[in-house]
Structure 1
Amino acid sequence: MAPSLLYPATQLPPASALALSQQAPAVLRSSPATVSSSPLSALFSAPEKPELWIKYENLILSCLRTGDDQAAHQCLERLVARFGNGNERVQALRGLVKEAEAQDDSALEEVLKEYEQILAENDTNIPIAKRRIALLRSMGRVSDAASALVQLLEFSPTDAEAWSELSDIYLSQGLYPQAIYAMEEVLLLAPNAWNIHARLGELQFMAATAPGVAGGSYQKYMAEAIKRFARSVELCDDYLRGYYGLKLVCKTLLSGGSNKTAKQTDDEFAIPDTRNTERLNELATAKLSEIVRHSTARDQGWRGYDEAEIAAARQLLSDDVAASSAIER
């Protein structure tokens, strides 16, 4: 079944994006080419539905990913006809289309100049500011992108998307404390988001296992990683990434990673003892096995997991079996 056009298309796998883009001809044929913005038009025509414009935006994203530039332009033209060239979201979508069609760096530089010109006239244009940041990063100007993000967050400190992007930029540069700080800001804005808890746990684990980490920092990072992964599965019982991370941290500790731990003097960052770590590992193993088994069998209620994540979980479980067999021999 193809994904719905009413849901964000940015994180879809390639096959799903292709399925969405293939709906473009049907959507364009069944929808009016122009819709008047006049309130009087509602007296003589069917009421306007906001879902139509959401479909057009998602179609633009999917069509650009699959190379259907013609359909993307048709969707963009209808958005322009309805909302005008000055609409901020329309400006960002137009810029995105130009970025996708750019053939070289010089063309991307031209798009960047257009963004900067728009921001010079209106520095509160958030969609264009974000497109400029994304373009800077794609062009390899990571430091400029990070600086622009910091400026954006000074203006809009409650933008969870911007904090998340800043965390990812810091991570790409190996700046784990900064990446963790930025992701903690996301968590403050969305305290019950289980995926953010798990992502923070992943950052904590990467920081703990980075070369040269001190014993005290290792203890703090590993303790926090366990807390975050445990909280993610508490909020979402069948969350694969949460159980995967929890098992990975426990496995590292049980295999000798705890030897790096300094004397535990701070209860806030205390790593669970061996017995509790083993119990957490057993819980994560059982749940991962259940998810992999049901997902592989395509059982009702267990579909929708990412295939790459299922493969990674299967490999982690297989490594455990192989290690147990080696010890028995």
Structure 2
Amino acid sequence: MAPPTLLPASQLSPADALAVAQQAPAFLRSSPATVSSSPLNTLLYGSEKSELWLQYENLILTCLRTGDDTAAHAALRRVVSRFGDDNERVQALQGLVKEAEAQNDGELEKVLKEYNQILSVNDTNIPVAKRRIALLRSLGRVSEAASALVQLLDFSPTDSEAWSELSDIYLSQGLYSQAIYAIEEVLVLAPNAWNIHARLGELQFMAATAPGVANGSYQQYLAEAIKRFSRSVELCDDYLRGYYGLKLISKRLLADGSKPTKQGDGNEFVVPDTNTLERLNELATAKLAEIVRRSSTKERGWGGYSDTEIAAARELLAEDESPIKR
């Protein structure tokens, strides 16, 4: 198993992030303060390991997350010493540290001006462009963030991270069709990403249940959602969110009494028949129950689910229980 410092900071639970941050001083003491890239140094001491710089970067992010600015600055100084102030990734990390230490919107606006200055010199600096977009969004300037993302994707159309962020921005504005389009672009780039299939299913469900949706669009969205959730669990057999969505949609369609339907323009989308929906519902119910049971008992190999996910699954399963008659 990879050490915690090699895991992306976003994948660490709050408890794990705090544990990593607490180990930061010891890690910094045991790691080289400076590393030369000269051929002579490589010959004498061996080549440097790329994992070291990934660990430093993850340490910066984790320490900022937990409020340990001292350790974050210590790790940042080593990265700057190795790669220089003009390195694009270093510039983004320096900006991130300033964002984390900003006390008010005025100080964040100063950081934004620095990003603008960097991009005026080099508008292809992707790390800084992404930090600028994130900062615009945190300042509430969502439309500017969306426009900046569109410009970034014009330059780098295969950036799945940017497409995903754009989808999230559209969703926050209630633009469901645009959010769905953007996440579909992620699937074009990563067709076997089960979490993205499930995310698309969630967007389809939200679009179906949005106020004022037409009945035809409602059925189309739900039919597409059930396909996406089915694909996600096909790709990942124990994916809780996929089974949760599959049960939620099949249960709703059964309650609606929906019948197989075909779109009028000739492009077929089909709401599964009642027998198929019942089988899907039974499959999702059984799998969710297994996940909840095994995860709750701390069974080995079933500990990768969050408490929130397990609680939501347990609540959904509880809705099927018949009330006790007295």
The TM-score range, normalised by the shorter chain, is over 0.9
Report the equivalent of 2:237. 237
For the pair 1:325 / 2:314, whether they are aligned, the reply is no
1:275 shift after superposition:
1.3
1:219 shift after superposition:
1.3
The percent identity for this pair of structures is: 75
TM-score between both structures, scaled by the size of structure 2: 0.96
Report the equivalent of 2:25. 25
1:46 shift after superposition:
3.7
Q: Secondary structure at the match of 1:32?
A: coil
Q: 1:70-109, aligned counterparts within 5 Å?
A: 70-109=70-109
Hey, what's the Cα distance between the residues in 2 that align with 1:49 and 1:27?
A: 15
For the pair 1:129 / 2:129, whether they are aligned, the reply is yes
Partner deviation per Cα, 1:45-66 (whole Å, 9 max, x = no partner):
2431111101111111110010
Hey, what's the Cα distance between the residues in 2 that align with 1:165 and 1:263?
A: 33
Partner deviation per Cα, 1:158-183 (whole Å, 9 max, x = no partner):
00000000000000000000000000
1:97 shift after superposition:
0.2
1:236 shift after superposition:
0.4
The answer to whether the 8 Å contact 1:205/1:225 transfers is: yes
The answer to whether the 8 Å contact 1:2/1:16 transfers is: no
Report the equivalent of 2:166. 166
The answer to whether the 8 Å contact 1:3/1:20 transfers is: no
Q: Name the CA shift for 1:274/1:194 in 2 (closer, same or farther; >3 Å).
A: same
Hey, what's the Cα distance between the residues in 2 that align with 1:40 and 1:296?
A: 55
Hey, what's the Cα distance between the residues in 2 that align with 1:242 and 1:276?
A: 17
Q: 1:248-267, aligned counterparts within 5 Å?
A: 248-256=248-256, 258=258
The one-letter code matched in structure 2 to 1:8 is P
Hey, what's the Cα distance between the residues in 2 that align with 1:264 and 1:139?
A: 42
The answer to whether the 8 Å contact 1:3/1:16 transfers is: no
Q: Name the CA shift for 1:89/1:257 in 2 (closer, same or farther; >3 Å).
A: farther
Hey, what's the Cα distance between the residues in 1 that align with 2:11 and 2:320?
A: 31
Q: Name the CA shift for 1:188/1:264 in 2 (closer, same or farther; >3 Å).
A: closer
The answer to whether the 8 Å contact 1:194/1:232 transfers is: yes
Q: Name the CA shift for 1:85/1:38 in 2 (closer, same or farther; >3 Å).
A: same
Report the equivalent of 1:146. 146
Q: Name the CA shift for 1:267/1:283 in 2 (closer, same or farther; >3 Å).
A: farther
Report the equivalent of 2:38. 38
Hey, what's the Cα distance between the residues in 1 that align with 2:228 and 2:99?
A: 37
The one-letter code matched in structure 2 to 1:93 is L
Report the equivalent of 1:63. 63
Hey, what's the Cα distance between the residues in 2 that align with 1:85 and 1:142?
A: 29
Report the equivalent of 1:270. 270
Hey, what's the Cα distance between the residues in 1 that align with 2:83 and 2:251?
A: 54
The one-letter code matched in structure 1 to 2:35 is V
Hey, what's the Cα distance between the residues in 2 that align with 1:194 and 1:254?
A: 25
Partner deviation per Cα, 1:269-317 (whole Å, 9 max, x = no partner):
1101111111100000000000000000010111111111111101111
The answer to whether the 8 Å contact 1:37/1:83 transfers is: no
The answer to whether the 8 Å contact 2:262/2:268 transfers is: no
1:257 shift after superposition:
6.8
Report the equivalent of 2:186. 186
Q: Name the CA shift for 1:264/1:157 in 2 (closer, same or farther; >3 Å).
A: closer
Hey, what's the Cα distance between the residues in 1 that align with 2:116 and 2:176?
A: 31
Greater CA drift, 1-10 or 112-121? 1-10
1:262 shift after superposition:
7.0
Report the equivalent of 2:315. 315
Q: Secondary structure at the match of 2:268?
A: helix
Greater CA drift, 12-21 or 79-88? 12-21
TM-score between both structures, scaled by the size of structure 1: 0.95
The answer to whether the 8 Å contact 1:2/1:20 transfers is: no
The one-letter code matched in structure 2 to 1:54 is L
1:228 shift after superposition:
0.2
The answer to whether the 8 Å contact 1:59/1:72 transfers is: yes
Partner deviation per Cα, 1:65-85 (whole Å, 9 max, x = no partner):
100000000000000000111
Report the equivalent of 2:118. 118
Report the equivalent of 1:286. 286
Hey, what's the Cα distance between the residues in 1 that align with 2:3 and 2:315?
A: 28
The Cα RMSD (Å) is 1.8
Greater CA drift, 159-168 or 207-216? 207-216
1:136 shift after superposition:
0.2
The one-letter code matched in structure 1 to 2:130 is K
